[in-house]
Chains A and B, each alone.
Chain A
Amino acid sequence: MNHIIDVNNLSKSFGSNTVLIDLSFKIEEGSVVGILGANGAGKTTLLQCLIGMLKSDVGDITILGDKCPNFSVNTKHNIGYVGQEADLLNWMKVNQIIDYTKQFYNHWNDDMVEQLLEDWDLSKQQKISKLSVGQRQKLAIILAVAPQPKILILDEPVASLDPTTRRKFIKTLIDMNLDNGQTILFSTHITSDLERVAAEVLLLKQGRCFFQGDIDDLKEQVVRLHISSKRPIDAQLPITGILTADINGQHASITVKNVKDINIDQLAEEIDADITIESLSLEDIFVELHS
């Protein structure tokens, strides 16, 4: 597999506020990766650094073989980006901005544009300044996907969309990935959407990469251990990688970072307790991680 995005030791600060700390990850061609993190975790900063909108303090970013921010025209053709706030040219009408954007690209899927405009109830004659936040977001997405770029970078693309449109959009993303093998990188708070679309997740916590890999692997690693003992459980449990611990007398619920590092049978014997393993949903993991 080719690495279409390669990030090495990326750090970014705003004054004394360090937002990204020594981030390194690679994204393979054709993968769908969701970036998950709490508010202020650095999702938007990361995406803006990736496309060169923000200059990183330290580190290298390579997209399609080009070093950021010096992208060639060919690379620019193959990157689609939708920001958190849909920054459009407000003085234009919908059809005008479509024609305007189309001029810059070699490939443009007119059928897809027409279909999405119809599906998302956007009139071509509407003025952009009169569109609602959600409608603007829809239009920004249409303009980003129409050139059929190899990489689609979306910063919380569904945040302003209603549930119906959100589902349609997710379906469109899945189709694009399946039909054209497009690489999709998007940030979101909505874990259910992420689970529908993405196979991989990049979990950010306080500017650092907590996990990168398959969602299934994450779910296998981060689990909750329910411990029941006949005598009070010691607060200092011999467990590594504890995320949260709720110890209440003879019962305890411990969420661990990587269950594979723990020998459950040995642990049960050591503390003389019964241990059951509970799998967590992505949302549970997110909550446990930030609680």
Chain B
Amino acid sequence: MKSLTVFNSIFQRSKLFNLVSAAIYSTFFALFLLVISHKESQNTPIMFVTLALTLQLLYHSSWSRFFSETIRSPFNFLKPGFIRSAYWSQSLYLFITVFIPIIIGFFLLNIDSGYFLFVAMIGISSFALMNFNQITGAIWTSVIILWSAGEEAKFFNSVEESKTTETLINHHFSYLPVDSHWLALVVIAFSIYLLYFFTKLTPKKTIDSSCSNNDEIQLRYKARGKISSFIDQAWLQFKYRFFQSIGVFNSRIEVVLMSGQYQSIFLFRLFVFVLAIFSINNHLITDFFIGLGDGFNAGFSDSSNSNYEFNNSEIITLSIFCLALLGIFDNSIFSRFLFAQRFLWLREPVDGITSFKALFTGSLVRKMMFEIGFSLTTFILILIEFKLEFTILLFLLLGYLCLKSYSIIVGYLTLLSNHRKVSYFCSVAAYAIFFVFWVLISTVVTVADLVVLAVLSVLFLSIIVYGFNRIKHSKTFTY
């Protein structure tokens, strides 16, 4: 069918990969159906979470990336009916992976499908930018962690009674100060707008000419295939001029490194910082998060009370959100260095490869330290403001350490072109497993055990990286 040409081409792009993904998804889907056929089963929420995680794995590791590459390819520009085909293909994909489970979940189980739809729609808006994928992935994972943690706590404490009618009616977004349906509508509209925006943007594979005022910024033209947002460009211009005026730019390397950078993740973290630190006592803003927390805690508190104070679980809720957002390493540092290395090799007058690598290694370490230092400081400031217990504080800091280490490894792996697909698949799968693992153990083990497990996790992931490095023989990203 002409309308599904894009769908077919993406499916055929990596048949094996897609078939494996489809097999995993189908298996979980079949298990899910099997479980929900026994309505008394307490495993239903876990199965539902697993299904959601599998969907995330499929969405972020395969379809989302291939789809965004397809719609941005200049080859498809001027193809009659291409945009229509793209819309149809995206709709079919979402229908298969999102709407069918929602419909089944809703009609057979009365399960909270609203949240699934809501999160899936956030995912749609992120498909075109890998950077947003990271953020969305973090948000989604946090939502799933919180939800499953709540369910698990009930399970382990044997407090979960048979579901009342009220529980079925109220869902995780019932306690928001705004109508969740309107919110979902806004997200859906935004998603559709983004799809429209990126299909229109397709032919413009270079960045907007407004960046060309500064010759150095034009280096971005060399970074093929990267689309920067308006925010990216504006922030880049501002930063460039500011650093230039105070004389921070000491070498061309600094400029090139900056020019290949996505700026939005940095801004997003600033936003989280400001929101968390300065709005903790602002009821207009906190009502939203309190409502969200209430939803995930089955509505034990009332956010309409203006004298409401955060309870411990809500503080932890916010903390985990912050952890997910700040713990993710800004992987664009690696891609920037790769780009800068290629770009400057023939241009920067240095004495041989050793000197060149030494120059870069210093810059790379500085950038990584800055990224880790900035996000860790932000996270610690947030945690201090939250006045958490020492045990929870330690748990969150360990979580930060593991997540940061892990995302550095993921960033490194995804850059290895030889094993890009495998590494991406493995890393996303591990990402999901890792978090489920942490959620499960957090409910049963002691702090001492957590420390040991955190160290073991980092070691285990390091071994995976080492294994990958041993397998690959060429085209290595080295310094």
Contact = CB atoms under 8 A, between A and B. Distances in A.
Do A and B belong to a common assembly? yes
B84 to A, nearest CB: 9
Contact of A100 (B9, B80, B204): B9
Contact of A104 (B8, B73, B82): B82
Interface string A1-29: 00000000000011111000000000000
B212 A15 contact: yes
Interface string B187-230: 00000000000000001100001101100000000000000000
B78 A81 contact: yes
Contacts of A13: 209
Interface string A195-224: 000000000000000000000000000000
Interface stretch (A72-80, A227-235, A249-257): A72-80
Bin chain A's interface residue count: 20 to 34
Interface stretch (A89-97, A172-180, A272-280): A89-97
A100 B74 CA distance: 15
Interface string B1-30: 010010011001110000000000000000
A89 B70 contact: yes
B99 interface: no
Given A89-B73, A100-B5, A103-B5, A14 B209 contact: yes
A53 B85 CA distance: 20
A192 interface: no
A52 interface: yes
Given A52-B203, A76-B80, A104-B79, A15 B209 contact: yes
Given A15-B210, A52-B203, A89-B70, A101 B78 contact: no
B64 to A, nearest CB: 16
B311 to A, nearest CB: 51
A105 B9 CA distance: 16
B81 interface: yes
Interface residues of B, number: 24
A92 B5 CA distance: 13
Contact of A76 (B70, B73, B79, B210): B79
A104 B393 CA distance: 57
A104 B2 CA distance: 7
Contacts of B79: 76, 101, 104
A13 B80 CA distance: 29
B434 interface: no
Contact of B2 (A52, A88, A103): A103
Given A76-B78, A77-B80, A87 B2 contact: no
B219 to A, nearest CB: 14
B12 to A, nearest CB: 7
Given A51-B78, A52-B203, A76-B80, A89 B212 contact: no
Contact of B81 (A17, A91, A104): A104
Contacts of B74: 53, 83, 87
B466 interface: no
Interface of B: 2, 5, 8-9, 12-14, 70, 73-75, 77-82, 85, 203-204, 209-210, 212-213
25 contacts: A14-B212, A15-B209, A15-B212, A16-B213, A51-B77, A53-B204, A54-B204, A76-B78, A76-B79, A83-B74, A87-B74, A89-B9, A89-B70, A89-B73, A89-B75, A92-B9, A100-B5, A100-B8, A103-B5, A104-B5, A104-B79, A104-B80, A104-B81, A104-B82, A104-B85
Given A89-B9, A100-B8, 17 more contacts: A15-B209, A16-B212, A16-B213, A52-B78, A53-B77, A54-B203, A74-B80, A76-B79, A79-B78, A81-B78, A87-B75, A89-B75, A96-B9, A100-B9, A103-B2, A104-B2, A104-B79
A-B pairs, 5 with minimum CB distance: A15-B212, A76-B80, A53-B203, A103-B5, A87-B74
